[in-house]
Amino acid sequence: MRVKVADFGTSCLETQCRETKGNMGTYRWMAPEMVKEKPYTRKVDVYSFGIVLWELTTALLPFQGMTPVQAAFAVAEKNERPPLPASCQPAIAHLIKRCWAANPSKRPDFSDIVSALEKYDECVKEGLPLTSHSGLVDRNVILERLKRCVSLYPSISVHA
């Protein structure tokens, strides 16, 4: 019951990728710096993970209704991202937004992502839901619950 996502078709050693330019990858999941053919780091994988996390949250294809090239243009030139539904857990929405930040240095490291996901999971297990169910809980209640969760795990940052 553990999901592992891997696509090593365009992988390279990080020391080589720092100088790499060119469109290697799949446009709908590709970071803006790759689309623009700028040098990139491992933070392109964090961006792609953010798109995959969005997919897992929504069960939709990113940039549905666009061709892959249109999606790449929207990301690189218009700074567009797939829309986050109102039903998305606030903590998960915040993590997704951090992962797909336009500035790669603003994206978290994978160790931070894993830690955040584990802490969110613990909050849910503790009975501290991070989302409303069918709109029955308003935004203030959600934020209050999230703050309670954060007080249990102080390394989680919440920005309302």
Angle, helix 90-99 to helix 110-125, in steps of 10 degrees: 170
pLDDT in tens, 71-87: 999 999 999 999 999 98
Work out the average pLDDT over 108-124. Answer: 89
Residue bearing the bigger pLDDT, 144 or 34: 34
Hey, where are the domains in the chain?
14-152
Do residues 31 and 106 touch, judged by C-beta distance below 8 A? no
Q: What are phi and psi of 69, to 5 degrees?
A: -70, -40
Predicted confidence at residue 127, as pLDDT, reads: 78
| CATH class of this structure's domain 14-152 | mainly alpha
Q: How high is the mean pLDDT of the chain?
A: 78
pTM of the model: 0.70
Least confident interval from 5-19, 27-41, 112-126: 5-19
